[in-house]
Each structure stands twice: as structure tokens, then as C-alpha cells.
Homo-oligomer: A and B are copies of this chain.
């Protein structure tokens, strides 16, 4: 890349020297060159992704299971990053030092947005032959230069970190929310919330404290550059997990759905928690930076920040989801699926943007928007839009995810702000393992006190083992790399992500076997066993038909759809939280936001009947319960215990829970909501 670049620079220089026809042409040529470099950067990543796709295909074809596509993307990225770094020479960015014009007055203490340079003005331009006319150029603010000696702005094949938060993460997170298998999610809500909320905070605190201790033992130069808040920030950013690889293997081997739901649900939520947590730590830092000590009011303020931002973001996302549901319910936009899909995408993106405009967390908003869209709007959509939206987000998720892992690999070599500190890296690895242990074992113990059935020990080990770090940790680490401390954090985080994704991901199958976690039968139902459920021969056209009237986004495979539901005994106990939520949901929200039965006219108290009548569609009155039950099976939170359980159930009952609705509904006709 840079060979080409240098060659082009020389050409450009020659062109300028030979023609001497003013700076206009040179400027145009320079703009063209920059555009080509941008295109080349994108092309590198496009080719890397293409290569990854082809290799994944080969691996799937030959049934290689020790390397997941994310691991592959990282490794390809590392190779190409090394080539770019060592094979190509450095592109020199030209710069000069400037001073304000003598008579300038400026009335703000922040640097101005824009500089105006008269060029060449009184400067000595060495190429004497061509008289360059005086022109005025605009320069816009870029950032602070900390290390003046170093030419820091030399970025090769790198992107603005904000791109991750505004373009790459939203579709990944939305997809996770949209594909959440809500039934098992809500059934394990207590455990998931405990692990995600309490666990992540605990893990951040433990990692932060331990790292602070470690840093104090290190050479003084490093120790002085880290404050406790810095290490706490590191704890927050390294805590979220991203067990893509493990989950892909789970769905391949049909591991227990409840274990799957816990790992997936936790990883989805702890991304959101970690993002808000790191924001709260930064706010604390911003507000109280003049005083190094601990301030109780500031601490409470940070906690208030955390709760406020998290719940407001959740609210924005949920409201936008419900608004979309109302729009799709009360208009007939479903007659034009393209319009409907566009509306769906626009409203979901608006949730992200509204949260960002209000200084909330867009990623959290988009997660809960995705959950609401799946839970309510999805039921109102036409079958064409259902297919289209789930396929669209599946594809976007696939591309975004692999892009971010490729980028982690490439940036390891090309991103200029890495700071390799062996002690910090070792301490980071050790503490991140300890943090995960603190997240899982004590909390599982506490949960098991009140939980029936308890989480068995081998499941706890598997939860611990699934603590891979991924996209969110990297995005948070690369966001701010001004100080040396932050640069050391970025390096450590990148290495932890690469190591966990490649090594831990590769060892997941062995871990399952070693922990004796039962895996489902893999003989029949071949299609479901593969990570991509879309696998089907062209002759199997009936599949498309079957898919069309099922409610759950069916091809969200990594998410939670693939592990087979096992018939389980009905001895499990329904969580109180889930029961309460289920009542509100089925009596109020579902009838209001979707065409689900029973209609509001039946569930609302008598004095609200007129309102209820307005909010109920004729479709809701006329459809039978039966058809609805069928199309709405996964949205159920729990089923009622008093229903008879069909006896033809697979006896493998590792995890005593509730029977799957989709099995029981075959024998039951009647509303059991």
C-alpha cells in the first residue's frame, strides 16, 4: 500500500515540479490521491473479509471445528497487518508549525475550530522556479499532539475509533437483541441479570483494584501514569464478554438451551453494562479531576449516572420499538413490504440516534429496541418483511463482526498508539481471568441459594470458560488513546481479545467434553446442527414456506435458535419477576401493540372499554386463538403449569425446567396465556 503511495507521491511531486501551473492542479491531484488511499484501505479489508468467507467455507466443508471464523478473521488481520507494517515504508505527512497572526484576539479558552493559513505568504518555499500565488487555506481542528517529537498522525489502514460506536457496533447489538430467544432469556432472567449487572460491576471493581495494586509494584515510570480511575476504567472495558465462538459450537453440538440462554443473555447485557459503566467512570473523572482523592458525592453521582443513563437509554429504545409496533399495527403499511422494512430499519436507527443526541448510550437503546422489535413489531410484519429484516441484520451482523475482528488483527501492527509493557500485559491477563472467576462462582453460589434448580458445577465452569473478550472491549479501548496509560490498556486489551478468541475459542469443544456437559443427538436434523441454519438444498423449498409463518426470526442461528428444545419436566418453578412481567405483557402490551389475543376489550377493566375498543383491530377480534398460539410460540415467557404435558418427550432431562410451548401446543387448543 505504501509502496504505491510513495510512488504516487513522487509522481505528484514531479508533476508539480514540471508543470508549475499553480497549486490548483497539485491540490486536485492530492485530493485524488487521498481518495485512492481511502479506497485502498477499504479494499484491503474487503479482500480480507472475502478471504475469511472463503476460508470459513473450506473449514465448514471439511468440518474443521478448532477455529471459528472470528479467530480466522483475527489471524488474517494479524498477517496482513504485519505485512503492511514491515514490508511497506512510511508515508510522510507534511506539517509546519504556525503562530497566530500578531493582531489576533480570541475570546475562548479552547483552541479555535479553524485556522486560516495564507500560503506561501512569507514562507520560504524551496522550489524556486514556479511562482506560487498567495491563497488562503482552511485547516480544521484534529486533536492534541501529546508527543511533539513523534509524527503521530501517521495512520496506516486505520479508521476513526468513533466508527466502531456509530457504524459497526449498532447492527451487531441490534441483531443480538432481535435474535434473543426471549422465552429462555426470561426464564433465566434472574441469573442473567445477576451475572450481567452485579457480575460486571464486581468484575470491573476487582480487576481495577488488582491492576492498581500490580501497577504500584511496577517500575515507577509506569506506576505514576496510572490513577485508580484508570485501572478501574480498564476493569470496566475488559469485563464484557463476547462468546461468539463458544456459542457457535454450542449450537453445533446442541448444548442445553438454558446454559446457552444464560451465556448469550449475559454477554448481550454485559456489553451494555460495561459501556455505561465506563461512561460513568469517565464522567467521574471529568467532574472531579482536580481532586485525586475519593469523594463520596462524586461516587454517588457516578452511580446515579450509571443507573440514569442505563434506564433512560433502555426507555428510549423500548419506546421506539413500541412506536414501531403501533405504526405497523394500526397502518396497513404491511401491504407494501418494502416500505415496511424501510420503516423498521429507520425507526431502529432513530432509536440509536435519539439516544446519542440526548447524551445517552445509543448502543443500549438499540439493544432494547431490538428486543422490543422482536417481541412486538415482528408479529405485525408481513412475512416478506420478517424475512427481509432478519436476513438483512444477519448479514450486517456477520460483516460487521468479521470486520471488527479483522481490524483488531490489522491494528495490532498498524495502529500507531500501541504501548507494549510486558508487566502490564501479564497483569492484565491474570486479573481478567480472576475477574471472570469472581463474576461467576460467588454469584452462582448466591443464586443457587434461592434458585431451584441450581446451576450445576460443570455449568459454572463452562460459564467461566465462556469469558472470551471481543468487540466491545476493543472498541472501548481504542476510543481514547491519548495518554501512555490508555495506550498500554489498548495493547493489553487487543492481546487478551486475540488470545481468548483464538485459543479459548479453539478449545471450546474439548472443554465441553472435559466438563462432561451433555450434548444433544447430532444424527438427524442435520440442518439444525450447523451454525448456519439456512443450510438447505435448493430442492428444499418447503423450508422457506415453513419459515414464513413462524414468529421467531428463524435464521438468527448464533443467537439461540439452534439448540434443540428438550422436553423437560414441569417441576421447575417460575420466577416471580418473570410471572409478573408475563402478566403485564400478555394482558396489556401484547394486545395493545400486536394483533395478539385476548384483545384489550377482554383484559382491561370495564371503565376503560371505550379506549380498549379503539385500540383493538378487527383482525384481533376475528382470528382464532389457535392460529395465534402457533404463530406466537416463542414470544411466550412461560407456560402455565396446569396444562397437561405430552408424554412423548425425550427423557434427557438434565435441567429440570418447563416444557417447551412448541411441543405442548400440539396437544393443547385454547389460550393458555
A contact residues vs B (CB 8 Å cutoff):
13, 16, 20-21, 23-28, 30, 32, 35-36, 39-40, 42-43, 46-47, 49-50, 53-54, 56-57, 60-61, 93-101, 104-127, 130, 132, 135-145, 148, 152-153, 162, 166, 286, 289-290, 327, 331-339, 341-343, 345-347, 349-350, 353-354, 356-357, 359, 362, 382-384, 387-388, 391-392, 394-395, 398-399, 530, 532, 534-538, 541-542, 544-545, 548-549, 555
Smallest Cβ distance from A378 to chain B, in angstroms?
A: 13
- By a CB distance below 8 angstroms, the chain B residues around A333 are 53-54, 57
Q: Which of B126, B132, B535, B548 contacts A105 (CB 8 A)?
A: B126
Partner of A139, one of B130, B139, B152, B362: B139
Chain B residues within 8 Å of A152, by CB: 138
A97: nearest chain-B partner, CB-CB: B101
- Chain B residues whose C-beta falls within 8 Å of the C-beta of A105 in the assembled complex: 123-124, 126
**Complexed CA–CA distance, A360 and B353 (Å):** 36
In contact, B338 and A532 (Cβ under 8 angstroms) = yes
Beta-carbon contact of A139 and B140 below 8 Å: yes
Contact yes or no, B99 A99, CB < 8 A: yes
- Report which of B20, B47, B54, B116 forms a contact with A331, defined as CB distance below 8 A: B54
Q: Is the CB of B118 within 8 A of A336?
A: no
Contacts of A54 in B (CB 8 A): 327, 331, 333, 343
A113 touches B94 (CB 8 A): yes
Tell whether A126 pairs with B114 under 8 Å between CB atoms, given A43-B354, A148-B136.
no
Q: In the complex, which residues of chain B have a beta carbon less than 8 angstroms from the beta carbon of A125?
A: 106-109
The contact of A39 among B46, B339, B357, by CB within 8 Å, is: B357
Assuming the contacts A107-B126, A113-B93, asked whether A145 and B138 have C-beta atoms less than 8 A apart, the reply is: yes
Top 3 A-B pairs, shortest CB-CB distance: A95-B114, A139-B139, A39-B356
Establish whether residues A139 and B136, one from each chain, have CB atoms under 8 Å apart when the complex forms: no
* With contact pairs A39-B357, A137-B143 given, residues A23 and B110 touching in the complex (Cβ less than 8 Å): yes
Q: Is the CB of A395 within 8 A of B394?
A: no
Cβ contact within 8 Å between A99 and B96: no
**How far does the Cβ of A151 sit from chain B's closest Cβ, in whole Å?**
9
Smallest Cβ distance from A508 to chain B, in angstroms? Answer: 20
Tell me if A98 and B98 are in contact (CB < 8 A): yes
Is there an interface contact between B111 and A23, defined as CB atoms closer than 8 Å?
Answer: yes
Q: Hey, which chain B residues are within 8 Å of A347, CB to CB?
A: 50
Complex CA–CA separation, A577 to B153 (angstroms): 55
**Could you pull out 5 A-B pairs where Cβ atoms are within 8 angstroms?**
A16-B109, A43-B357, A53-B343, A138-B143, A339-B532
Residues from chain B with Cβ under 8 Å of A108 in the complex: 13, 16, 94, 125, 127
Contacts of A130 in B (CB 8 A): 109
User: Are B112 and A94 closer than 8 Å at their CB atoms?
Assistant: yes
Q: Are A395 and B345 in contact (CB-based, < 8 A)?
A: yes
CA distance A534 to B382 in the complex (A): 10
User: Are A391's CB and B394's CB within 8 A?
Assistant: no
Give complex CA distance A39, B23 in Å: 36
Kindly identify which residue among B23, B98, B289 contacts A101, using a CB–CB cutoff of 8 Å: B98
CB neighbours of A398 from chain B (8 A): 338, 342
**Contact yes or no, A97 B96, CB < 8 A:** no
Q: Given that A109-B132, A162-B35, A535-B335 are known contacts, is A46 also in contact with B127, CB under 8 Å in the complex?
A: no
19 extra interchain contacts, Cβ-Cβ under 8 A, other than A13-B108, A105-B124? A20-B109, A24-B289, A26-B109, A27-B111, A40-B353, A50-B347, A53-B342, A97-B100, A99-B122, A106-B126, A107-B125, A111-B117, A334-B538, A336-B534, A383-B544, A387-B391, A388-B391, A392-B395, A545-B545
| Contact A359 B98, CB 8 Å, known A54-B343, A395-B345 | no
Residues of B within 8 A of A153 (CB): 114, 138, 140
Alpha-carbon distance A416/B426, docked complex (angstroms): 54
A145 to chain B, nearest CB (A): 4
* Closest-CB distance, A305 to chain B (whole angstroms): 14
CA distance A120 to B108 in the complex (A): 10
Partner of A538, one of B100, B135, B143, B382: B382
Given the complex of chains A and B, what is the CA–CA distance between A49 and B26 in angstroms? 39
Residues of B within 8 A of A286 (CB): 25, 28
CB < 8 Å: which of B123, B357, B383 contacts A100? B123
Q: Given known contacts A137-B144, A534-B338, is B106 in contact with A94 (CB within 8 Å)?
A: yes
Q: Answer whether A36 and B357 are a contact pair too, CB < 8 Å, given A123-B106, A534-B384.
A: yes
Q: Distance (Å) between the CB of A646 and the closest chain B CB? A: 27
Query: A98 touching B116 by the CB < 8 A rule?
Result: yes
B139–A144 contact, CB under 8 A? Answer: no
Q: How many Å from the CB of A410 to the closest CB on chain B?
A: 16
| Contact A336:B57 (CB < 8 A) given known A46-B350, A148-B136 | yes
In contact, B126 and A137 (Cβ under 8 angstroms)? no
A201 to chain B, nearest CB (A): 24
Given contacts A109-B26, A383-B544, contact A338 B139 (CB under 8 A): no
Residue of B nearest to A30 (CB): B110
A670 CB → nearest B CB, Å: 23
